[in-house]
Amino acid sequence: GQQLNQSPQSMFIQEGEDVSMNCTSSSIFNTWLWYKQEPGEGPVLLIALYKAGELTSNGRLTAQFGITRKDSFLNISASIPSDVGIYFCAGQDAGGTSYGKLTFGQGTILTVHP
Amino acid sequence: DAGVTQSPTHLIKTRGQQVTLRCSPKSGHDTVSWYQQALGQGPQFIFQYYEEEERQRGNFPDRFSGHQFPNYSSELNVNALLLGDSALYLCASSLITATYEQYFGPGTRLTVT
């Protein structure tokens, strides 16, 4: 089945630094999404990407849908303490029997030191 | 605008028991998906409901079953609980025309002892 490899597994950074994380898949996805999860909460949708090569921003967050459709990255610029949390990539294959199902990566734990 | 709500927040059950978890989708959404999130892992897809029918299922045994009601709310039932069923159970809602954008509830933390 489809698997997503997300890296790095964890990051410890200073406030104000930029952050980059990425996700690779063994198969093609038609949609890539990035979520953030904080303790005791469900994942919150940050950015959705629908087309290969697409670059989308949401405030200090920027994400790109890889040209091969098998990867995506998320950048966070000028990190602040409230960026702390677990970031998940997720992909959806719009065709075949996988329609509707999201496949998630293992998550990147982000810690920001003031 | 109410988001996705789930109940209960926490639940403790004994091995072999049965449990029912509940979900109300975001206002205007008609599709509900359920995920299991083990500690330190990403969510794993269990199944998805639309028009009161299960339309897609992940790699979970038949002990996991669900239901969707006419008002689009949903239940997840797990029979014959195992210790390994301990996890955060997440409900996500979406429009059937846009199932790629799923919005998650806060989850139900199930502990099986």
Q: Residue B60's pLDDT is what?
A: 96
Model confidence pLDDT, tens digit, residues A16-58 = 999 999 999 988 888 999 999 998 899 999 999 999 999 999 9
Q: Residue A44's pLDDT is what?
A: 95
Best mutation target among A32, A69, A102, A103 (most B Cβ atoms within 10 Å) is A102
Residue in B79, B45, B86, B47 with CA at minimum distance from that of residue B63: B79
Q: How far is CA B81 from each of CA B34, B64, B87, B107, rounded to the nearest angstrom?
A: 17, 10, 12, 18
Which of residues B100 and B80 earns the better pLDDT score? B80
| C-alpha angle B94-B98-B103 in degrees, rounded to nearest 5 | 30
> What DSSP string describes A38-85?
-TTS--EEEEEE-STT-EEEETTEEEEE-TTSSEEEEEE-S--GGG-E
Q: How far is CA B51 from each of CA A91, B69, B93, B112, B113, rounded to the nearest angstrom?
A: 24, 8, 13, 31, 35
Q: How many CA atoms lie within 13 A of B79 on its CB side?
A: 6
CB pairs under 8 A between A and B: 67
Of residues A44, A101, A105, nearest to B42 (C-beta): A105
Query: What residues in B contact A88, CB-CB < 8 Å?
Result: 42-43
Q: Residue A49's pLDDT is what?
A: 94
Average pLDDT of span B66-72: 97
